[in-house]
Structure 1
Amino acid sequence: MLPKTAFLKRNKTPLFWVFSCILLYISFAYDLHRTDYIKLLTLFTALFFLFYKLVNLLKTRLVFLTWLAFIFRTVFILAIPNLSQDFYRFIWDGRMILEGFNPYLHTVESFISTGKFPVAESQMLYDGMGKLNAGHFTNYPPINQLCFAIAALFAGKSILGSVVVMRLIIIAADFGTLVFGKKLLLKLNIPSYHIFWYLLNPFIIIELTGNLHFEGVMIFFLIWSLYLLHSGKWQFSAVIFALSIATKLVPLMFLPLVFYWFVKYKNSSATEVFETKSFKTIGFLKLIGFYSLVGISTLVLFAPFFSTQFINNYTKTVGLWFQNFEFNASIYYIAREIGYSFRGYNEIATIGKTIPVIVILFVLGVTFLRKNKTTTQLITSMLFVLSFYYFTATTVHPWYISTLLILSVFTNYKFPLVWSFTIILSYLAYLNTNNSENLWIIALEYLIIYSVFIWEVLIKENFSNKHINHLNNN
């Protein structure tokens, strides 16, 4: 029997699944509108099922899985994003920078409403992003803006060309996550194929590569930073962590969690945790050094855009996510309904101010109660903190879950993997012209998520701890 024939016969099942995935991704990328909910759910469900089967079947063949991750992403190269219109604003910001404008100081509406067209294809970009986006100042941090500017540099007069450039940046970031994610998994004695629960997940491929959300770039820097931190290279880790913050602000909430990782300084060449006074002092100095490097590096990255007006515009825009926008929330929607029974209106203005305070208190509680002395404990705390934030947030867009998913890869928790599937239900809000949500569908999404979360974090873990204690006592 010829070698090729033997290979095909031996691998006919996974190859059939791979071919099916490619066809489904082509249909998703080039023949789907987000209002076609039956096709959307069918394609996504089929892709998720095949992804799960492929990872389990091929978990010992990492090179093959890596090639699949690349092949599936290349399907989207020439596709215009069909589930999100944010990329129009990305292109606008990048072209504004090349024209010499500070994108943080001007809304798109301020130009178009006065008949000014400062960049190529201004009207098309304005129409594409919509009036809501165009009416607000940009909220994308400097590394995001750098990516937008690179797209403008190479494709300053073509929307599709800009899309291709940004997509290549995101794909490159994903493979950076693969490299450092595998290394960190090996150091933590976790099977390295676990990285493909993130990298081959259709949710990640569609939301990041397909719809051009730069969480993928932020995640690359975050995982790289965690790998360096675990390896004892905390100075370099701090600089890379700042790059992650300067891509998306989310990692800011992780900073308090490293407190005990440094103060209870763990020598990488030993198994014990040193808690003597001298080692605590050394750890505290390292902690101060880490925070200082993160702070200084972040300020340097923001410096080219800095001005008093920038601070006012940026803080105002970030505040909108807490006090103006509502989408795919869970606990907030319940609190809002309770508030309506007392006040009857504008609950987000009140609750939105409370949420950041509650989240900060929760982060501090996790920091000082869990005492993250190891990298695994640190990542697990990051997962809990970010989960709590999204459980209480007023707005949870699908692509936000990508950070939860990558963190879960380094833990035993699977609820983010389940959420990466059920999050597709949030797109059913686009079935009508006013994009109003069906709260029964939102309830179904979160009923599944909270059920898995409670089982894993409270019931299963508590049962395991009792079982371990019972064995120790006997």
Structure 2
Amino acid sequence: MAFYLSFAYDLDRSDFIKLAGLYGALFFMSFKLIQVQKHNFWILVSIALIFRLLFIVSLPNLSQDYFRFIWDGRLLANGWNPYEFIPMELIGAQGFTIAQARELLQGMGSLSAGNFTNYAPVNQLIFSFAGWLGPTSILFSVILLRIVIILADFGTLFYGSKLLRSLGLPEYRIFWYILNPFIIIELTGNLHFEGVMVFFLVWSLYLLHKKKWIWSAIIFGLSVSVKLLPLMFLPLLFRYFKTSTSLSRINDSSGTSNSIKRSRPDRCPEVLNIRKLILFYLIVLIIFIAFFSPFYSPEVIQNFTQSIGLWFGKFEFNASIYYIVRWIGFQVKGYNIIETAGLVLAVITFLIILALSFFRKNATTRQLITSMLFAITAYLFLSTTVHPWYLAIPLVLSVFTEFRYMIVWTAVVILSYFTYSNAEFQESLWLLALEYIIVFSFLGWELLKPGKTIKV
């Protein structure tokens, strides 16, 4: 508790030694706590709540994104469409007025202030909730947003533990996510909404495992409407739906499978399941369109896609393979080839996801989740920008698999924060190399160690 209080109220992100020291100590103590108390479920639940409440009246100190969240929320609460305006251009517009506008503009930084918003519609609705109830106080708006994230974390705890039980796995594994200092600091502390996206994704996976695929599609659509990232998982559902044992067999009370009941012998179960898959995709699309439609205009689509495109063609942070490609580009071309490299690496990521979708057996929920973990891992390894909070989805997925490299990655990702310890925001390529050598080495060991099988 003392270390978390120090992190929340007495830390400047430029003090990298203190930041890394606190984080390392918290990481060690938290996983020791899980090890010792893993059979005391409600004690761990109580501790998880207490740790989060310690942050309740603190302002995020490792990220300035919350200024943009509050800005977008106040725009929407005052009848302005946040997708239509660049903050830097709107500040001087006739008739424009929101409380603390210049303070928010300065706080979000020139990069955010000079571009259109890239936050999906459910995110915007959450921002507007804070904008409506906290129209004049930045701290109160932060508290409101933090409450939403804490509630989402406990939703993940609820459905994650239920999914673990359904898969025959120990319930305490969910605390590798819930009590991980990375999750508490990056989500509750720094107000990143990956936690809300994760909640809907885990809920959707639980419903899918229980063969409630229509409700699963609805909830999956909500996850996509928070952040677009889960869209990459949709192709992986092909083999899961196609395999008749996934959705067409019903377990009796003894745990054995009954034969598929066919009232119409001319209907192949595989065909029926593919139809269900198509409907699943349609439901996800309808949910996303339904939430996006209140903001729609041709300009909004252009602005939103333009903002998303920046992540592949302009931004660089904490990358791994891309930085090697960039170095080669400088040797061969003499300049930064990010626009070409970002596109090529995105295509390679897409091809890997297709390979996982059509050539890997995804007949069970655990196999499906393992493929999801591999897919997003490939995406992150090949990305030009890997902010620490992006690791939330692969971390929660790893809880349901036999792989632990994501826990290791969340331990060493703190090295990327060295960037903020200098006025020029220059990354230390030596520290990033150390981070990824550790991650790649541990992943390689897990894949290759004797007796290890990835067909879980």
TM-score by length of 2: 0.95
User: Is residue 117–residue 123 contact of structure 1 (8 Å, CA) maintained in 2?
Assistant: no
Shift of 1:415: 0.4
Shift of 1:272: 8.5
Corresponding residue SS for 1:246: helix
User: Is residue 318–residue 416 contact of structure 2 (8 Å, CA) maintained in 1?
Assistant: yes
Determine the structure 2 residue equivalent to 1:13. Answer: none
Determine the structure 2 residue equivalent to 1:126. Answer: 105
State the one-letter code of the partner of 1:464.
Answer: K
Determine the structure 2 residue equivalent to 1:112. Answer: 91
User: Is residue 405–residue 443 contact of structure 2 (8 Å, CA) maintained in 1?
Assistant: yes
Determine the structure 1 residue equivalent to 2:202. Answer: 223
In 2, Cα distance between the equivalents of 1:382 and 1:124? 40
Question: Do residues 170 (structure 1) and 188 (structure 2) align?
Answer: no
In 1, Cα distance between the equivalents of 2:95 and 2:67? 17
In 2, Cα distance between the equivalents of 1:268 and 1:151? 44
Determine the structure 2 residue equivalent to 1:138. Answer: 117
Shift of 1:273: 9.7
Task: List alignment gaps of at least 5 residues for structure 1.
Answer: 1-21, 469-474
Question: Do residues 263 (structure 1) and 242 (structure 2) align?
Answer: yes
User: Is residue 363–residue 385 contact of structure 1 (8 Å, CA) maintained in 2?
Assistant: yes
Counterparts of 1:447-458 in structure 2, within 5 Å, are 447-457=437-447
In 1, Cα distance between the equivalents of 2:393 and 2:401? 13
State the one-letter code of the partner of 1:330.
Answer: S
Determine the structure 1 residue equivalent to 2:295. Answer: 305
Runs of 4+ in 1 over 4 A off after TM superposition: 113-117, 270-274
Shift of 1:60: 0.3
Aligned counterpart for 1:436 among listed residues 421, 426, 439: 426
Determine the structure 2 residue equivalent to 1:402. Answer: 392
Question: Do residues 81 (structure 1) and 69 (structure 2) align?
Answer: no
Question: Do residues 243 (structure 1) and 231 (structure 2) align?
Answer: no
Determine the structure 2 residue equivalent to 1:154. Answer: 133
State the one-letter code of the partner of 2:121.
Answer: P
Question: Do residues 464 (structure 1) and 443 (structure 2) align?
Answer: no
Q: Say if 1:24 and 1:103 are closer, same or farther in 2 by CA, change over 3 A.
A: same
User: Is residue 231–residue 268 contact of structure 1 (8 Å, CA) maintained in 2?
Assistant: no
Aligned counterpart for 1:92 among listed residues 56, 71, 77: 71
Q: Say if 1:121 and 1:465 are closer, same or farther in 2 by CA, change over 3 A.
A: closer
Determine the structure 1 residue equivalent to 2:168. Answer: 189
Determine the structure 2 residue equivalent to 1:340. Answer: 330
In 1, Cα distance between the equivalents of 2:412 and 2:95? 43
Instruction: Write out per-residue CA displacement over residues 440-467 of structure 1, whole angstroms, 9 at most, x where no aligned residue.
Output: 010000000000011112x12x64359x
TM-score by length of 1: 0.91
Instruction: Write out per-residue CA displacement over residues 14-51 of structure 1, whole angstroms, 9 at most, x where no aligned residue.
Output: xxxxxxxx000000000000000111011001100100
User: Is residue 107–residue 137 contact of structure 1 (8 Å, CA) maintained in 2?
Assistant: yes
Task: List alignment gaps of at least 5 residues for structure 2.
Answer: none
User: Is residue 174–residue 220 contact of structure 1 (8 Å, CA) maintained in 2?
Assistant: yes
User: Is residue 243–residue 270 contact of structure 2 (8 Å, CA) maintained in 1?
Assistant: yes
Aligned counterpart for 2:311 among listed residues 292, 301, 321: 321
State the one-letter code of the partner of 2:278.
Answer: I
User: Is residue 218–residue 248 contact of structure 1 (8 Å, CA) maintained in 2?
Assistant: yes
Shift of 1:346: 2.7
Determine the structure 1 residue equivalent to 2:372. Answer: 382
Q: Say if 1:288 and 1:125 are closer, same or farther in 2 by CA, change over 3 A.
A: same
State the one-letter code of the partner of 1:421.
Answer: A
Shift of 1:342: 1.1
Determine the structure 2 residue equivalent to 1:364. Answer: 354
Instruction: Write out per-residue CA displacement over residues 348-396 of structure 1, whole angstroms, 9 at most, x where no aligned residue.
Output: 0110111221111111000011131110000000000000000000000
User: Is residue 138–residue 317 contact of structure 1 (8 Å, CA) maintained in 2?
Assistant: yes
Aligned counterpart for 1:423 among listed residues 394, 413, 418: 413
In 2, Cα distance between the equivalents of 1:324 and 1:376? 36
Q: Say if 1:273 and 1:103 are closer, same or farther in 2 by CA, change over 3 A.
A: farther
State the one-letter code of the partner of 1:138.
Answer: T
Corresponding residue SS for 1:464: coil
Shift of 1:115: 8.2
Cα RMSD after superposing both structures: 1.7
In 1, Cα distance between the equivalents of 2:101 and 2:401? 45
Corresponding residue SS for 1:394: coil
Q: Say if 1:344 and 1:171 are closer, same or farther in 2 by CA, change over 3 A.
A: same
Corresponding residue SS for 2:452: helix
Determine the structure 1 residue equivalent to 2:382. Answer: 392
In 2, Cα distance between the equivalents of 1:420 and 1:196? 14
Determine the structure 2 residue equivalent to 1:292. Answer: 282
Instruction: Write out per-residue CA displacement over residues 212-234 of structure 1, whole angstroms, 9 at most, x where no aligned residue.
Output: 00000000000000000000110
Shift of 1:307: 1.0
Aligned length: 444
Task: Report % sequence identity.
Answer: 51
Corresponding residue SS for 2:268: helix
Corresponding residue SS for 2:244: coil
State the one-letter code of the partner of 1:353.
Answer: L
User: Is residue 330–residue 392 contact of structure 1 (8 Å, CA) maintained in 2?
Assistant: yes
Determine the structure 1 residue equivalent to 2:5. Answer: 26
Instruction: Write out per-residue CA displacement over residues 152-176 of structure 1, whole angstroms, 9 at most, x where no aligned residue.
Output: 1111100000000000000000000
